[in-house]
Amino acid sequence: MEAERTANGATVKTQNVTGLTLSIPPGYSTWKPNVPTSVTLDGQALKAGPVMSDRSWSVTFSRTTAMASSSAIPLTARRLSQSHGLQGPIDDAFMDRFIFVRPTGKPINPKVGEWVTGELGHAIEHWRRQFRGR
């Protein structure tokens, strides 16, 4: 990869690259804040986000097909976003189907049995109220 700053962005040449991030830390950008920038990537002109008010800048590009190592496939700008499988086990648990397992049989301790039944009812009620799920 070869990169060079231009008047309002950058020119980048890549070979065998599936994705890349261009980044300038706070206080180091020479471009004007809040003005759109552009990146010429392997000859393709792409729009990039503006420099932030703290004079930082970042843009990420990725190829969009399985044949990503081919330079004929354009890199495209993408924004960072959360996706299933990357946030962590707690967040991911609520992105998939799951079930409440109801107790069966008679509890050994009646007080614990009452508590479990109450908590299950509470969980079901709030699940239906907040997530409109069944």
Which of 34, 58, 78 finishes a domain? 78
- Give bridge partners of residue 24 from the DSSP assignment: 57
Burial degree of 71 (CB within 10 A; 0-12, 13-18, 19+): middle
Average pLDDT in the chain: 80
Given a cut of 80, whether residue 133 has pLDDT beyond it is no
Do 11 and 39 fall into the same domain? Answer: yes
Based on the structure, what is the number of domains in the chain?
2
Do 73 and 95 fall into the same domain? Answer: no
Dihedral sign from CA coordinates of 84, 85, 87, 89? positive
Given a cut of 80, whether residue 86 has pLDDT beyond it is no
Do 73 and 18 fall into the same domain? Answer: yes
CB 55 within 8 A of CB 33: yes
Do 64 and 109 fall into the same domain? Answer: no
The better pLDDT of the pair 33, 65 is held by 33
Do 96 and 118 fall into the same domain? Answer: yes
Give the three-class secondary structure for 25.
Answer: coil
Given a cut of 60, whether residue 73 has pLDDT beyond it is no
Given a cut of 80, whether residue 66 has pLDDT beyond it is no
**CA distance linking residue 60 with residue 89, whole number of Å:** 26
Read off the pTM: 0.49
Expressed as residue numbers, the domain containing 125 is 89-131
The predicted-structure confidence for 89-127, as pLDDT tens digits, reads as follows 666 666 667 778 888 899 999 999 999 999 999 998 988
